[in-house]
Amino acid sequence: MKQLYLIIFFFVISFSYGQSSQSNGDIDGFSMYPNPVTTGKVYISTNLNAPKEIFIYDVFGTLLLKTTILGKELSLSNLDAGVYVLRVLEKNKMCTRKLIIK
Protein backbone atom coordinates (compact mmCIF):
# COMPACT_ATOMS: atom_id res chain seq x y z
CA MET A 1 0.00 0.00 0.00
CA LYS A 2 2.89 2.37 0.76
CA GLN A 3 4.26 1.79 -2.74
CA LEU A 4 0.93 2.91 -4.19
CA TYR A 5 1.04 6.15 -2.21
CA LEU A 6 4.63 6.71 -3.29
CA ILE A 7 3.75 6.18 -6.96
CA ILE A 8 0.79 8.53 -6.69
CA PHE A 9 2.94 11.14 -4.92
CA PHE A 10 5.57 11.09 -7.67
CA PHE A 11 2.81 11.29 -10.28
CA VAL A 12 1.40 14.41 -8.60
CA ILE A 13 4.85 16.01 -8.40
CA SER A 14 5.66 15.29 -12.04
CA PHE A 15 2.21 16.51 -13.12
CA SER A 16 2.62 19.74 -11.14
CA TYR A 17 5.98 20.47 -12.78
CA GLY A 18 4.47 19.87 -16.20
CA GLN A 19 1.65 22.35 -15.51
CA SER A 20 3.84 25.26 -14.44
CA SER A 21 3.42 27.45 -17.53
CA GLN A 22 3.33 30.69 -15.51
CA SER A 23 6.55 29.98 -13.68
CA ASN A 24 9.80 31.71 -14.56
CA GLY A 25 11.89 29.43 -12.36
CA ASP A 26 12.44 28.75 -8.71
CA ILE A 27 12.09 31.53 -6.17
CA ASP A 28 15.47 33.05 -5.30
CA GLY A 29 16.65 32.23 -1.80
CA PHE A 30 13.71 29.92 -1.06
CA SER A 31 13.99 28.05 2.23
CA MET A 32 11.43 26.14 4.27
CA TYR A 33 12.06 24.88 7.79
CA PRO A 34 11.55 22.73 9.78
CA ASN A 35 10.73 19.85 7.49
CA PRO A 36 9.43 17.48 8.87
CA VAL A 37 7.08 19.77 10.79
CA THR A 38 6.52 18.77 14.41
CA THR A 39 5.32 22.03 16.00
CA GLY A 40 2.41 22.86 13.67
CA LYS A 41 4.28 25.79 12.11
CA VAL A 42 6.60 26.04 9.14
CA TYR A 43 8.69 29.06 8.20
CA ILE A 44 9.09 30.02 4.55
CA SER A 45 11.61 32.67 3.59
CA THR A 46 12.86 34.09 0.29
CA ASN A 47 15.22 36.85 -0.78
CA LEU A 48 12.33 39.25 -1.54
CA ASN A 49 10.14 38.36 1.46
CA ALA A 50 7.12 39.53 -0.57
CA PRO A 51 3.59 38.20 0.06
CA LYS A 52 3.37 34.54 -0.90
CA GLU A 53 0.43 32.46 -2.08
CA ILE A 54 0.55 29.03 -0.47
CA PHE A 55 -1.13 25.91 -1.83
CA ILE A 56 -1.00 22.57 -0.02
CA TYR A 57 -2.07 19.37 -1.77
CA ASP A 58 -2.39 15.81 -0.53
CA VAL A 59 -0.75 12.92 -2.40
CA PHE A 60 -3.88 12.53 -4.55
CA GLY A 61 -3.64 16.11 -5.81
CA THR A 62 -6.55 17.45 -3.78
CA LEU A 63 -6.13 21.07 -2.72
CA LEU A 64 -6.33 21.15 1.09
CA LEU A 65 -5.18 24.67 1.91
CA LYS A 66 -4.93 27.91 -0.04
CA THR A 67 -3.74 31.01 1.77
CA THR A 68 -1.54 34.07 1.48
CA ILE A 69 1.16 34.89 4.02
CA LEU A 70 2.81 38.28 4.45
CA GLY A 71 5.61 37.19 6.76
CA LYS A 72 7.43 33.89 7.11
CA GLU A 73 5.21 31.84 9.42
CA LEU A 74 2.59 29.38 8.15
CA SER A 75 0.35 27.55 10.62
CA LEU A 76 -0.34 23.91 9.73
CA SER A 77 -2.04 22.84 12.96
CA ASN A 78 -5.24 21.86 11.12
CA LEU A 79 -3.47 19.26 8.90
CA ASP A 80 -3.03 15.64 9.92
CA ALA A 81 0.31 13.87 9.97
CA GLY A 82 1.39 12.81 6.50
CA VAL A 83 3.14 13.76 3.28
CA TYR A 84 1.95 16.77 1.32
CA VAL A 85 2.95 18.87 -1.67
CA LEU A 86 3.57 22.54 -0.90
CA ARG A 87 3.48 25.08 -3.72
CA VAL A 88 4.57 28.67 -3.16
CA LEU A 89 3.95 31.51 -5.61
CA GLU A 90 5.80 34.81 -5.22
CA LYS A 91 5.87 37.50 -7.94
CA ASN A 92 5.32 35.10 -10.89
CA LYS A 93 7.86 32.58 -9.59
CA MET A 94 6.98 29.23 -8.12
CA CYS A 95 8.52 26.54 -5.92
CA THR A 96 7.08 23.11 -5.28
CA ARG A 97 8.40 21.06 -2.39
CA LYS A 98 7.53 17.96 -0.42
CA LEU A 99 6.18 18.76 3.06
CA ILE A 100 6.15 16.18 5.84
CA ILE A 101 4.05 16.66 8.97
CA LYS A 102 4.67 14.39 11.97
Each residue of 37-95: pLDDT tens digit?
Answer: 999 999 999 999 899 999 999 999 999 999 999 999 999 999 999 999 999 999 999 99
Enter the pTM of the model: 0.74
In a domain, 22, yes or no: no
What is the per-residue pLDDT for 23?
45
In a domain, 54, yes or no: yes
The answer on pLDDT for 1 being more than 80 is no
Whether 37 is in a domain gets the answer yes
Q: Domain total for the chain? A: 1
Distance, CA of 55 to CA of 65 (rounded, Å): 6
Q: List the domain range (segments joined by +) for residue 43.
A: 27-101
Question: What pLDDT is attached to residue 20?
Answer: 46
Q: pLDDT for 7-47, tens place per residue?
A: 776 666 665 555 444 445 689 999 999 999 999 999 999 99
CB proximity list for 71: less than 8 A, separation 6 or greater: 49
58 is a domain residue: yes
At residue 58, the pLDDT reads 95
For the domain that residue 81 is a member of, what is the CATH number? 2.60.40.3080
Asked if the structure places residue 88 within a domain, the reply is: yes
Q: How far does Cα 92 stand from its chain's mean position?
A: 16
Question: Torsion-angle region of residue 30: left (phi > 0), alpha (psi -120 to 50) or beta?
Answer: beta
Closest CA to 61 of 3, 16, 17: 16
Contact call for residues 31 and 49 (beta carbons, < 8 A): no
